[in-house]
Amino acid sequence: MEDLSKNLSETAILEVGARLLAQHGYHRVTLEMLANQFGVTRQAIYYYYRSKEQLLEAIYESAMIGLLHDWDVILTEDKLPLVKFTEALRAFIRRVLGQPTAVLVLNTLERELDEPFYQMQRKRWHEYLLKLRILYNAACDQGQVLPIDPHIAVYSLIGAVLSLPQWYRPSGNLTPEDIEHQIMGLLERGYVRFA
């Protein structure tokens, strides 16, 4: 095992913690296991996180902060709804590909979060999805996207992107840019080739 003790930081703990949670599941992971990954004592981990619940919340919050910041910037720009919607999807793909393990943990373990924290995060997430639905609806009104119910369109597109961590591996043959390009092509043009 590589000696990670010199690399003990909040960011490193979140990355290794997310990997352990993805590999072993919430109920099997302990802070002792996390400490062992760094070659430090449990007390060294306690400096950052006092419990596995705090660790999971921090992983969740870290992933959400980046995504929501990206979307805040995009949604406040003075651009056409379709442009903003497309940029928001691209930003989401990049975030998911940039933190696939953390996103996988969020998708599979969100119900392990403390209920008030979970409800607060869920509310934040749904507020952003509402903003995307409003953008999609505006683009639809301008004839720029297919006239599909915005709820179905947004949840289908976001759901497709959220499935990336199930199969994406940074060490694989496709770069994140390749994947982003191909997914956006599929999302923007569909999968049927018309003669």
> What pTM value is reported for the model?
0.84
pLDDT in tens, 125-157: 999 999 999 999 999 999 999 999 999 999 999
In a shared domain, residues 89 and 7:
no
Q: What was the pLDDT predicted at 112?
A: 87
- Residues 42 and 66 placed together within one structural domain of the fold: no
How many of the other CB atoms lie within 10 Å of CB of 33? 16
Last residue of a domain, one of 29, 50, 71: 50
Residue 57 falls inside a structural domain: no
Q: How far apart are CA 142 and CA 81, in angstroms?
A: 9
19: CB partners within 8 A, 6+ apart? 101
72 and 133 co-located in one domain: yes
Identify the CATH number of the domain in which residue 79 sits.
1.10.357.10
**Same domain as 180, residue 126:** yes
| Residue 3 domain flag | yes
Residue 194 lies in a domain: no
7, 89: one domain: no
Tell me the pLDDT band of 108, cut-offs 50, 70 and 90. confident
Clarify whether residues 46 and 69 are in a common domain. no
134 in Cβ contact with 153 (< 8 Å)? no
Number of domains in the chain: 2
Range of the domain at 20: 1-50
120 and 160 fall within a common domain:
yes
Are residue 121 and residue 37 in the same domain, yes or no? no
Dump pLDDT digits (tens) for 48-57. Answer: 999 999 999 9
Are 153 and 105 members of one domain? yes
Taking the C-alpha atoms of residue 31 and residue 95, their distance in angstroms, rounded to an integer, is 26
Q: State the average pLDDT over residues 179-185.
A: 93
Beta carbons within 8 Å of 41's beta carbon, 6+ residues apart: 35
Asked if residue 86 is part of any domain, the answer here is: yes
Residues 15 and 87 in one domain: no
